Amino acid sequence: MLDAFRRREIGSGKGGRLLGLGRVAFLDLCGQHNIPVLNVDVEDLRREVADIHARGF
């Protein structure tokens, strides 16, 4: 399940269910195996930050 999650074939909720774990426990397990749990596109993040700054925050 961890490899399938790493390849983004399944989500954390499904991975947890298939292993008999809750989502948070599954994410913790991923962390123990150095598997990133966030898939953030840098350009998307930059746009979001620019939008936040444009709104005065």
* Residue range 18-34: mean pLDDT, rounded: 97
Specify the number of domains making up the chain. Answer: 1
pLDDT at 39: 82
Residue 21 has pLDDT above 90, yes or no: yes
pLDDT of residue 40: 83
Range(s) of the domain holding residue 19: 2-54
Average pLDDT on 24-48 reads 93
Buried residues in 19-48 as b, exposed as e (16+ CB within 10 A): eebeeeebbebbeeeeeeeeeeeeeeeeee
